A and B are shown apart, each in its own frame.
Chain A
């Protein structure tokens, strides 16, 4: 069974990027299964009792929020840059240079501060940060600074643009409500 190298490379690239964004989601390298046991009559003996439990490390909420803000700001900047190059958006005169500098400073500061916090990433917090950054930056650019406007299908595209952030916030809230403190049996 052979496979396509190009596809494998693409999959590898996507996976690499994904696990950089969500380092806590990287699965353990596959390999050995737990040792199996069968008694002489083919039944499975009871598993040995565990003697202790250990609590998993708490996710770094603040760090994840900051990282989410950085990712959200970067994604927003990229999306707007792409949209401005299309006929969909009309770019208006305005303080673009100051806005660009502020955006870069915000993203870099949030990234540095986020990476300096230790602990596994919290996905809801990442979503929360990204959603908040996306929403706020869109409102500031379009409705406070008036830097660009949508040329076609203004209402639905406006809803889509500004609605993406709140959608992430809703997803984050849902995940936060589902989160439970986890414990994991430790091997004896």
Chain B
């Protein structure tokens, strides 16, 4: 585990906004548009009744005013309820996979079919009035309920603010080298976990053995597994081996290349067709898919910050559909797409699946912009940050500080389920690089009311949400929640909670094979996030994404070649001139060759821990050493005195 950095804290007070309106501006616009659209449907139902337009026309109109309305009116309550359930199911499918056309089509069918096929579609006038009254009454009741809840949340928010006024959150500023860039050594357990990730990543690009294969739409999709795998590998490099490229960098590149496989991103063609009614297959579109561009952009950004800028070359990230159709992108283009989408969206945040805006996805978009900005400044990152801050603090925040996890951009609606603590946990972590004050406040709220640490163990509530593994859709274990808890706690600097979460996970069974290790009964996604938490440190993600690694690490000598799994690299760090390595054998004692790079061309170096005592760099700044690895071995390469 990484030691907590001892950076001086910049204490900040972060209160909850006291002016969160009942319906924030963009939400209100969408909501009013929804009401206006429904009013048209309602009139289509009311007019035939008012004009006594004939039984079938009335059945059709009532079916438009309320799903199943024509059936209820004609005295078929069971079929009416079935029609209503069908529309609810269609909305559910719309939310799950984005087919925007499904709810209106199903609604229309439930109106048309009974009107066309019922033997006797007639009903009483009272029944017609009752059908017409259902949605308006429910809307008024829902609005009243929302108003009452909102007032209660404002009260809670005010009470919380009185306590928050006393809290100084230790928001970290720009790190200074070397004291704010600690590099620790992998433990044996760290190395076993890392090897499991490396084996997954190093298989041929077209192979996906060991991955979960479910759907490509939701959280079990391959892309999320690849993103998380890449994040974990990058974080391991940042906090343990910043001066090691070799197979660790290759593994990260493989996860990036795998995302470019059509089987990973091709879902968008379908979602765009049935969700936006567009035939364009380009997965980097305007108006959506931040679930790909944001997550992927951050993955590429973390690699680029730690290794090289190959993904800044035009076309280096080409999404190829077939021989004829391809869309060439690069990291700055992905970041540019996120910036443009944020500017264009009236919510500030913009959709993942067509229509559905998720707060968590947009944190990745912001992180993509920040990571790209370190290497290719657009000058627009600050504007994006401010737009998103306003949105997170108004459109997507309840007055009691809960982040609203999802909102329909078309309808303006959300639901409380998506303001659950699990959403807050993940958002804390991913929001920290760009909006650290909000991340700290969110974490404080989680620790205040939801997460308990007792006897060095984390106790999560026994709710379905906290016992769900989204990587496999299995319910029953809180391993994923604990993984995210460890990630967020460590990033925020709450090391006590991070260690408690890890101690709780350590009591779970593990599987070992070929020198690798993973937590059993947990998805690949959960295991990758466990790695991300394990290899993290206080402000690790923020330092990497928002500020970038120090110049000494990027330009100094690096270990560039090593055999895998023969040579496990437990620590590798450069101060810009010398290189310090800790190596361990991964497949038994051996004599092996390692390759160095980024040395001064033609310069001589003193070597300690290898068979050679000195080494001279070639004209490319490269050199090779032989090392006898019988156990943990320290190697130091420093400029000759």
Q: Do the two shown chains form a genuine complex with each other? A: yes
A contact set with B: CB distance below 8 Å: 1-12, 15, 27, 30-42, 85-88, 151-152
B595 within 8 A of A: yes
Is B474 in contact with A2, judged by CB distance below 8 angstroms?
no
With both chains docked as a complex, state the minimum distance between the C-beta of B257 and any C-beta of chain A, in angstroms: 14
B118 within 8 A of A: yes
State which of B203, B420, B523, B595 has its C-beta within 8 Å of the C-beta of A41: B595
Chain B residue numbers with a CB within 8 Å of A87 are: 114, 117-119
Q: Tell whether A38 pairs with B422 under 8 Å between CB atoms, given A2-B360, A32-B196, A86-B117.
A: no
With both chains docked as a complex, state the minimum distance between the C-beta of B410 and any C-beta of chain A, in angstroms: 19
CA of A151 to CA of B120, assembled, Å: 13
Q: Count of B residues near A, CB < 8 Å?
A: 65
Is B210 in contact with A88, judged by CB distance below 8 angstroms?
no
Chain B residue numbers with a CB within 8 Å of A36 are: 198-199, 202-203, 247, 564-565
CB-based closest 5 A-B pairs? A3-B470, A36-B202, A2-B422, A33-B210, A8-B473
Chain B residue numbers with a CB within 8 Å of A27 are: 213
Is A38 in contact with B117, judged by CB distance below 8 angstroms?
no
With both chains docked as a complex, state the minimum distance between the C-beta of A151 and any C-beta of chain B, in angstroms: 7
Can you spell out 26 A-B residue pairs with CB atoms less than 8 angstroms apart? A1-B360, A1-B426, A1-B470, A2-B422, A2-B425, A2-B465, A3-B470, A4-B417, A5-B464, A5-B475, A6-B417, A7-B96, A8-B474, A9-B464, A9-B475, A11-B215, A32-B196, A32-B511, A33-B209, A33-B210, A34-B203, A36-B198, A36-B565, A38-B250, A40-B562, A86-B117
B211 within 8 A of A: yes
Chain B residue numbers with a CB within 8 Å of A8 are: 468, 470, 473-475
CA of A119 to CA of B333, assembled, Å: 52
Is B117 in contact with A40, judged by CB distance below 8 angstroms?
no
State which of B116, B417, B475, B563 has its C-beta within 8 Å of the C-beta of A152: B116
Is A152 in contact with B470, judged by CB distance below 8 angstroms?
no
CA of A31 to CA of B523, assembled, Å: 8
CA of A33 to CA of B565, assembled, Å: 14
B contact set with A: CB distance below 8 Å: 79, 92, 95-96, 114, 116-119, 196, 198-200, 202-203, 209-215, 218-220, 224, 246-247, 250, 360, 405, 417-418, 420, 422-423, 425-426, 464-465, 468, 470, 472-475, 484, 511, 513-514, 516, 518, 523-524, 561-567, 592-595
With both chains docked as a complex, state the minimum distance between the C-beta of A130 and any C-beta of chain B, in angstroms: 24
With both chains docked as a complex, state the minimum distance between the C-beta of A140 and any C-beta of chain B, in angstroms: 25
With both chains docked as a complex, state the minimum distance between the C-beta of A185 and any C-beta of chain B, in angstroms: 14
State which of B219, B513, B563, B593 has its C-beta within 8 Å of the C-beta of A3: B219
Chain A residue numbers with a CB within 8 Å of B79 are: 85-86
- Number of A-B residue pairs at CB separation under 8 A: 137
Chain A residue numbers with a CB within 8 Å of B210 are: 30-34
Is A11 in contact with B196, judged by CB distance below 8 angstroms?
no
CA of A88 to CA of B95, assembled, Å: 31
Is B218 in contact with A7, judged by CB distance below 8 angstroms?
yes
CA of A39 to CA of B524, assembled, Å: 27
Is A38 in contact with B511, judged by CB distance below 8 angstroms?
no
Is A33 in contact with B200, judged by CB distance below 8 angstroms?
yes
Task: Name the residue on B nearest A11 (C-beta).
Answer: B473
CA of A4 to CA of B414, assembled, Å: 13
Chain A residue numbers with a CB within 8 Å of B95 are: 4, 7
CA of A37 to CA of B468, assembled, Å: 34
Chain B CB within 10 A, most for which of A9, A34, A39, A87: A87
Chain A residue numbers with a CB within 8 Å of B360 are: 1-2
Chain A residue numbers with a CB within 8 Å of B114 are: 87
Chain A residue numbers with a CB within 8 Å of B118 are: 87
Is B561 in contact with A32, judged by CB distance below 8 angstroms?
no
Is A3 in contact with B524, judged by CB distance below 8 angstroms?
no
Task: Name the residue on B nearest A9 (C-beta).
Answer: B475
Q: Other than the known A1-B360, A152-B117, what 16 A-B pairs have Cβ atoms closer than 8 Å? A: A1-B224, A3-B422, A3-B468, A3-B473, A11-B214, A11-B215, A11-B220, A30-B472, A30-B523, A33-B196, A35-B514, A37-B563, A37-B565, A40-B594, A42-B246, A42-B561
Chain A residue numbers with a CB within 8 Å of B220 are: 11
Chain A residue numbers with a CB within 8 Å of B518 are: 31-32
CA of A4 to CA of B415, assembled, Å: 12
State which of A9, A40, A86 has its C-beta within 8 Å of the C-beta of B595: A40
Is A32 in contact with B465, judged by CB distance below 8 angstroms?
no
Chain B residue numbers with a CB within 8 Å of A151 are: 117
Chain A CB within 10 A, most for which of B219, B417, B475: B219
Is B218 in contact with A3, judged by CB distance below 8 angstroms?
yes
CA of A15 to CA of B218, assembled, Å: 14
With both chains docked as a complex, state the minimum distance between the C-beta of B561 and any C-beta of chain A, in angstroms: 6
Chain B residue numbers with a CB within 8 Å of A7 are: 92, 95-96, 218, 473
CA of A104 to CA of B474, assembled, Å: 35
Task: Name the residue on A nearest B295 (C-beta).
Answer: A1
With both chains docked as a complex, state the minimum distance between the C-beta of A11 and any C-beta of chain B, in angstroms: 5
Is B564 in contact with A37, judged by CB distance below 8 angstroms?
yes
Chain B residue numbers with a CB within 8 Å of A2 are: 360, 405, 420, 422-423, 425-426, 465, 468, 470, 484
CA of A87 to CA of B215, assembled, Å: 37
With both chains docked as a complex, state the minimum distance between the C-beta of A168 and any C-beta of chain B, in angstroms: 24
Is A35 in contact with B213, judged by CB distance below 8 angstroms?
no
Chain B residue numbers with a CB within 8 Å of A12 are: 473-475
Is B247 in contact with A42, judged by CB distance below 8 angstroms?
yes
Q: Tell whether A33 pairs with B199 under 8 Å between CB atoms, given A2-B423, A5-B475.
A: yes
With both chains docked as a complex, state the minimum distance between the C-beta of A86 and any C-beta of chain B, in angstroms: 7
CA of A4 to CA of B96, assembled, Å: 9
Chain A residue numbers with a CB within 8 Å of B214 are: 11, 15
Chain B residue numbers with a CB within 8 Å of A3 are: 218-219, 422, 468, 470, 473
Chain A residue numbers with a CB within 8 Å of B224 are: 1
CA of A35 to CA of B425, assembled, Å: 34
Chain B residue numbers with a CB within 8 Å of A6 are: 92, 417
CA of A57 to CA of B366, assembled, Å: 51
Is A39 in contact with B563, judged by CB distance below 8 angstroms?
yes
CA of A87 to CA of B56, assembled, Å: 14
Q: Tell whether A38 pairs with B563 under 8 Å between CB atoms, given A8-B473, A11-B214.
A: yes
Task: Name the residue on A nearest B360 (C-beta).
Answer: A1
CA of A152 to CA of B114, assembled, Å: 12
Chain B residue numbers with a CB within 8 Å of A35 are: 199, 514, 516, 565
Chain A residue numbers with a CB within 8 Å of B219 are: 1, 3
Q: Tell whether A34 pairs with B561 under 8 Å between CB atoms, given A12-B475, A86-B117.
A: no
Is A34 in contact with B565, judged by CB distance below 8 angstroms?
no
Task: Name the residue on A nearest B464 (C-beta).
Answer: A5
Chain B residue numbers with a CB within 8 Å of A37 are: 563-565
With both chains docked as a complex, state the minimum distance between the C-beta of B620 and any C-beta of chain A, in angstroms: 14
Q: Tell whether A42 pairs with B250 under 8 Å between CB atoms, given A2-B405, A11-B473.
A: yes
